[in-house]
């Protein structure tokens, strides 16, 4: 039996959604965050030394890291239609976006989140100095890098409406959290109709709606 150990309001919602798309039997165990620190509870840390979501258990195996778990599930269910076959159109893009989600886009969003907290949490008399430093980094690297990535995503989704081929794949599921976060957090200066249309499509999928019912509505930290 597969069990998803879901930390509320976390990226592990993607795995619940994927399992719903696969149509297989699984369990969900939901863990509440600490109301003060927003971190995982001690019970979650007993599952894996890092104590971070997601964690999946199956037949005595303990699996962590969303991308790794998705690859494991795609190998376990190769005929599910959620991964282009080797050599098929879209396979290279599938591989790219499966890893770009956490490797390229999420680091930019995490950096932006921490910069915002650095600018607002410290005592007021040192905030101007911190904002001067973070502002320089934003202008020189963070903002242009994030904009370039979002522009690229917009162009890619304009081709077929999906990240790998002409239908939903596990790459779309993997990209869902960082794209949601980017559209929520990034200070975008122009509309992105292809991204918005893609978000509307995934939100309307029955499997996605069931995942939200089981795991809770996702609220992007800002």
Q: What is the 3-state secondary structure (H, E, C) of 22-44?
A: HCCCEEEEEECCCCCCCCCCHHH
Euclidean distance between CA atoms 16 and 3, whole angstroms: 10
Sheet strands side by side (includes 2-7): 26-31, 2-7, 55-58, 61-64
* pLDDT tens digits along 140-150: 999 999 999 99
pLDDT at 188: 73
Euclidean distance between CA atoms 23 and 21, whole angstroms: 5
pTM: 0.91
* pLDDT tens digits along 53-102: 899 999 999 999 999 999 999 999 999 999 999 999 899 999 999 999 99
Give the H or E element holding residue 119: helix 106-120
Using 50, 70 and 90 to split pLDDT, how confident is the model at 220? low
Residue 65 φ then ψ, to 5°: 80, 115
Euclidean distance between CA atoms 42 and 46, whole angstroms: 7
Report which of residues 130 and 91 the model is more confident about. Answer: 91
Instruction: Tokens for 200, please give them.
Output: 């509307």
């Amino acid at each position: 039996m597969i069990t998803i150990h879901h930390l509320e309001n976390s990226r592990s919602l993607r795995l619940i959604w994927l399992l719903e798309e696969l149509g297989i039997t699984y369990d969900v165990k939901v863990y509440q965050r600490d109301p003060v620190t927003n971190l995982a509870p001690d019970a979650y840390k007993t599952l894996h030394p890092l104590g971070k979501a997601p964690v999946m258990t199956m037949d005595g195996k303990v699996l962590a890291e969303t991308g790794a778990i998705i690859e494991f599930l795609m190998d376990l269910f190769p005929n599910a239609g959620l991964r282009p076959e080797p050599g098929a159109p879209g396979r290279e893009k599938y591989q790219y976006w499966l890893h770009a989600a956490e490797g390229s886009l999420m680091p930019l969003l995490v950096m932006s989140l921490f910069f915002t907290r650095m600018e607002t949490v410290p005592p007021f008399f040192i905030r101007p100095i911190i904002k001067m430093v973070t502002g320089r980094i934003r202008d020189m690297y963070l903002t242009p890098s994030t904009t370039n990535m979002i522009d690229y995503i917009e162009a890619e989704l304009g081709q077929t409406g999906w990240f790998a081929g002409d239908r939903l794949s596990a790459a779309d599921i993997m990209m869902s959290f960082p794209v949601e976060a980017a559209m929520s957090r990034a200070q975008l200066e122009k509309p992105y109709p292809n991204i918005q249309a893609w978000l509307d499509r995934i939100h309307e999928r029955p499997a996605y709606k069931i995942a939200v019912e089981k795991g809770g509505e996702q609220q992007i930290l800002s």
